[in-house]
Amino acid sequence: MSLIKGGAASKLLRAVLLMALLGARPSSATVQVTNLTNGGSISLSNLVTSALYVQVGDKLFGNFSLNPTNVAVGELSLSALTNQVGYGFSLQLNGFDAVGFGSKDISLFFTAQVTNPFNLISGIDLSITGGVSGWGDANVAESVYTSGFGAGKIASLFVDINPGSTSPYGEGYIPFPSPQPMVWIEKDISVSGNAGQNPDDNPLGDTAAISIIDQTFAQIPEPGTMALLGVGLAGLLIVRRRK
């Protein structure tokens, strides 16, 4: 078998990368994509009812749905987020709290995928901002799948602000066993007053709330690694030209 040389190899590589890139994102003929930059936001109701996709940096988020479906999604908004981990979004919740014996629980479903086949998703970072008092508890439990919702579970993450906590924040990070071009995520968001844990307790003093959920996605290779790779390739080209 003869080896592929020179320009032919380069063309083949470009073709493979293009096919991977086209396969990684939905067709523009079937979905609408909204680009968000830092500071930009969109109502979650638009994403759920209109089946919109949101692009932040080189990551594409879509297939948004909520359970129960009668949640007042107009009170939730999503904004672009970029931090030291990677690209993602910040979810703002309005009035998601519980007092005394009360509780609230919703599940958010969405997909995250790459638009650049070089930058596979290697892990997720999750943080919540809120507050608790008394026996109140606020938490987010997350399941990550590779083959559709509920199929091919690859990671689980749990972040909470529990009773007795003096911090209004909770954060967690988990790497994937192997980098992925696309993941399906189920996020269970819950607050509970948990009143009744102590017979002498004042139920009105048991509260829990979540106001912000931040989610970002790590990638491999990391931007710094890509920069080093670029420098290395440039060096090889210079050496080759000199020869």
> Residue 73: what pLDDT?
54
CA-to-CA distance for 161 and 44, rounded, in angstroms? 24
> Residue 243: what pLDDT?
56
CA-to-CA distance for 131 and 160, rounded, in angstroms? 10
Global pTM?
0.77
Q: Average pLDDT, whole number, for the chain?
A: 81
Average pLDDT over residues 69-97: 85
Flag whether pLDDT at 32 surpasses 70.
yes
Flag whether pLDDT at 85 surpasses 60.
yes
For the chain, give every domain's residue range: 30-242
**152-201 pLDDT tens trace:** 999 999 999 988 777 889 999 999 999 999 999 999 999 999 887 776 77
| Of 237, 36, 213, 192, residue with least CA distance to 140 | 213
Flag whether pLDDT at 113 surpasses 60.
yes
